[in-house]
Amino acid sequence: VKGAEQGMKARSLHLHSFTIMRFAFTSMIVSTARAYTGHATFTLRRHVVCNRNVQLPTMIHSLPNRNQLARLSLVGMRSMSGKVKEIEEQLRKDDAMEAPADLEGKVNLYALNQTRMEELLLDWGEPKFRAKQIWQWINVKGATDFDKMQDLPKGLRAKLAEKAVLGNLEIAVEQVSKDGTIKRAYKLKDGQMIESVLMPYDDGRRTACISSQAGCAMGCVFCATGQMGFARQLTSVEILEQVQRFHVELLSKGERLSNVVLMGMGEPLGNYNNVMEAVRRINQDLGIGARHITISTVGLVPRIRRLAEENMQIKLAVSLHAASDEERNAIMPVNLRFPLADLMETCKFYVEKTGRRISFEWALIAGQNDTPEVANKLGHLLKGLNKMCHVNLIPLNPTAGFDGKPTKAAECDIFIKILSKYGVTATTRVRRGIDIDAGCGQLKSKLNKVVGRGGAPL
């Protein structure tokens, strides 16, 4: 305690430790990170910043004693170990694609590609060309009602209403921001909830942000989805339908869905097969160019290498958020399994194999990973990619389970200027839906307080 007090005074209370979590240690990661790196020290920055009038010895006296810290560290290490095992389990399973489930025995037409739709119509005793007509109504004209498919015989329209549906996702809640952003929570057949967001931009772009899993096993401490844990994988049809819904709605208004980002709930590369099947259909069936589709990952090294071999022109975004292993271990359990050296080597392989630039996502947390010191560290880390990367700076979306705050614009500008010295380009992402629960997992977290995890009433 005496050493800590002297060190803090010598630095005028400006601490440089990244691991700044709740004083009450409500996050398991705090004690784990310190125990994992062999440190018995921990950070008081939050209390120094927020309680400048409180005497330092008083704050230190209020800290947990050695026995309490040991117990907290043990619990944290066990939790972190369990999280790493959960990540490894997802990689081992290789997630086989699941067959789409029917709704009350009806066929979900969104689940069918054109070939399968032809087979369905032939089974119904209808001419093959009817499948193309239905396909045009759904995917080109954006029809959501069988009765509006006027060039189909009345009998076929009645048969479609009796035996088919357009989608299985049920809107549980929808929020609309003053900037036009639409956030939805969809209820799945088994009661699970997932989220999708449609973001309109002034330049005419319409971007859908979609989920790949119900919940997430990655456990990132600043993410609302990571805080709720993993429930199950989404099928390729459940992933596709989120895009299909926005696609047909925009078509009906004379607009077009231009971009798709898999940055919603879940780790896309943790559900590899279903995600890739959905991406192919988004590209081929809905006509959204591969270069306008982005897959995000926390850094599952084997899956990034696998993606590099796919020979697809899709974009890759890596959620980085910290520039050293100690700092990243503390907020992203995946780094314990795939540390930064492995991740950077794999990113270089991806760039060399595909010739495509990688985006690095960086959630700016005020006073934690937005300092000039961190910017220089990040520049050193990324300069080896030979300008084949770009950093997306994202002011933090605050969540109930993490007490970090978003960085202010002035600090963002300084961060960008420092990175440019290393030949690394960076931009601050335009924040959308700030007045609603637009951040990943935020709306579901709020709903879970009402209906409980998995949709079961409390």
HEC string of the chain?
CHHHHHHHHHCCCCCCCCCCCCCCCCCCHHHHHHHHCCCCCCCCHHHHHHCCCCCHHHHHHCCCCHHHHHHHHHHHHHHHHHHHHHHHHHHHHCCCCCCCCCECCEEEHHHCCHHHHHHHHHHCCCCCHHHHHHHHHHHCCCCCCHHHCCCCCHHHHHHHHHHEECCCCEEEEEEECCCCCEEEEEECCCCCEEEEEEEECCCCCEEEECCCEEECCCCCCCCHHHHHCEEEECCHHHHHHHHHHHHHHHHHCCCCCCEEEECCCCCHHHHHHHHHHHHHHHHHCCCCCHHHEEEEECCCHHHHHHHHCCCCCCEEEEECCCCCHHHHHHHCCHHHHCCHHHHHHHHHHHHHHHCCCEEEEEEEECCCCCCHHHHHHHHHHHHHHCCCEEEEEEECCCECCECCCECCHHHHHHHHHHHHCCCCEEEECCCCCCCCCCCCCHHHHHHHHHHCHHHCCC
| Set 118, 126, 195, 267: catalytic member | 195
Q: Clarify whether 249 is annotated catalytic.
A: no
Q: Clarify whether 195 is annotated catalytic.
A: yes
| Set 209, 220, 412, 440: catalytic member | 440
Active site members:
195, 440
